[in-house]
Amino acid sequence: MRESNPMSGKKIVVAAIWIITVFLLFNFGCSSEPDEAKTEGEKYIMVGAGAGLKPALEPIAKLFTAKTGIKVEYSYLCSAMVLTNMQLTRTGDIMVPGSQHYMDLAVEKEVIDPKSVAIAGYMIPVIGVQKGNPHNITCLEDLAKPGLKVGIGQEALAVGRLTLKMLKELGIYEAVMKNVVLTGGSATKLMLPLAMKNLDAEINWLAMCMNFAEKVDIIKIDPKKLAYSVAPIGMTNYSKNKEASQQYLDFVVSKEAQAIFAKFGFAAYFDPSKIEKLR
């Protein structure tokens, strides 16, 4: 597996603009502070969340606050850091990591009450291709076409582990790997070269590809060949606002909030009970 990024000259400048745009979209500030300063007796909860979930969680918080008067303060980090911070500081009310793996660790380390855990959203890999799909890619097997420039996530990433699982189960791992010219260290780093047409195709999250809909097309993977993960939600054992936290948790799994998750690419287009979930 080799890593390269052939951008140069003007392409680098344009790529930098894209990087700044994505940074502002997903990571502007580490937290989402309430608009007004907290007042004595004011109800609010603290939520540690995977950074990639921000597009859906922000409008959910606004709607939740409008309905309940309870304000939501988010801390957006990578899921590993969310867990580590909560464990070290013993603070926070709710955790929403970007994969089941970190929720399992949080339960194991007694950070999260296992009885509170539910599914907030679905983390679904798709095939992203250049706008217009010039190479007529329709399925995972097409990624083995000779001469394609393909990108995949590193194995340390959830999307990377899902990719390896799918390709190996289809018996096309070796063939596709011959076309891999980039192994991205994050979903964003993987997406940018495709948006700049330095890749022909890649396997990345549906939600990430939807954020670049003006630059890439999305090919959904046949559910019979698909492996997926989830973004779970749970209440911490440190919460001092259990009633408010439970209200938030209940709202996140409600039809109203789930419609928002769906809008931003975190909903299943298949029957999850019939497909194995990757932890």
Please state the domain count of the chain. 2
Q: What are the tokens at 93?
A: 């009310």
Residue pair 235/245 in contact (Cβ under 8 Å)? The answer is yes
pLDDT at residue 27 tops 90: no
Give tens-digit pLDDT for 200-214.
Answer: 999 999 999 999 999
Task: Tell me the average pLDDT across 171-175.
Answer: 97
Q: 155 and 131 in contact (C-beta within 8 Å)?
A: no
User: Do 141 and 209 fall into the same domain?
Assistant: yes
What is the structure's pLDDT at 155? Answer: 86
Q: Which of 262, 254, 170 is nearest to 210 (CA)?
A: 262
Q: Are residues 71 and 150 in the same domain?
A: no
Dist CA 159 CA 152 (whole Å): 8
At residue 173, does pLDDT exceed 90?
A: yes
Q: Domain of 157: which CATH number?
A: 3.40.190.10
pLDDT score at 274:
65
Task: Indicate if 116 and 235 belong to the same structural domain.
Answer: yes
* 3 state SS of 277: strand
Q: Give the whole-angstrom CA distance, residue 228 versus residue 183.
A: 19
Q: Which of 6-10, 88-92, 127-131, 134-138 has the lowest mean pLDDT?
A: 6-10
Model confidence at 105: pLDDT above 90: yes
Quickly count: other Cβ atoms within 10 Å of residue 222's Cβ: 11
Would 134 be classed as within a structural domain?
A: yes
pLDDT of residue 186: 84
pLDDT at 34 (0 to 100): 43
Predicted local confidence at residue 70, as pLDDT: 97
Question: Both 269 and 212 in a single domain?
Answer: no
**Predicted model pTM:** 0.79
Specify the higher pLDDT residue, 263 or 30. Answer: 263
- pLDDT, residue 79, reads 87
Q: Report which of 262, 268, 267, 269 is spatially closest to residue 59, judged by C-alpha positions.
A: 262
Q: What is the DSSP letter of 214?
A: T
What pLDDT is recorded for position 108?
97
Is residue 255 one of the residues assigned to a domain?
yes
Whether residue 118 sits in one domain with residue 60 = yes
For residue 13, is pLDDT > 80?
no
Q: Report the relative pairing of strands 71-77 and 44-50 from DSSP bridges.
A: parallel
Over the stretch 264-273, which tens digit does the pLDDT of each residue have?
999 998 888 7
- The arithmetic mean of pLDDT across residues 61-66, rounded, is 97
- Give the integer Cα–Cα distance in Å for 218 and 197: 14
Domain housing 136: 125-225
On the question of pLDDT at 106 being above 50, the answer is: yes
110 and 236: one domain? yes
Kindly tell me if the per-residue pLDDT of 239 is higher than 50: yes
Q: Looking at the structure, do residues 71 and 113 belong to the same domain, yes or no? A: yes
- Per-residue pLDDT, averaged over 120-126, amounts to 95
- Tell whether 181 and 164 lie within a shared domain: yes
pLDDT of residue 276: 59
User: Mean pLDDT for the chain?
Assistant: 86
Determine the length of the chain: 279
